[in-house]
Amino acid sequence: MLRVPTGKYDEVLTGLRGTGRVADRTAKAVDVTDRSWTWTAG
């Protein structure tokens, strides 16, 4: 799995072109602007 920021998507795909064979490709975007996160150190 490769996660890429939206603004870098095309750049990353261009950079990966020719490095191997694509077995499967899915693009999905999720807007998390209004979500809040609580992080704690374990």
Could you give the count of Cα atoms lying within 13 Å of 23 in the half-sphere of its Cβ?
1
- Beta strand residue intervals within the chain, DSSP E: none
Write down the pTM of the prediction: 0.47
Of 3-12, 13-22, 31-40, the least confident: 31-40
Q: Which residue has the higher pLDDT, 42 or 6?
A: 6
Task: Note the pLDDT of residue 34.
Answer: 80
| 33 burial level (CB within 10 Å; 0-12, 13-18, 19+) | exposed
Q: Average pLDDT, stretch 7-14?
A: 88
The per-residue pLDDT for 13 is 85
Quick: pLDDT tens for 15-37. Answer: 988 888 888 888 888 887 887 77
Half-sphere exposure of 34 (CA within 13 A, CB side): 0
The gap between the terminal CA atoms of the chain, to the nearest Å, is 26
What angle (nearest 5°) sits at the alpha carbon of residue 32, between those of residues 28 and 35? Answer: 150
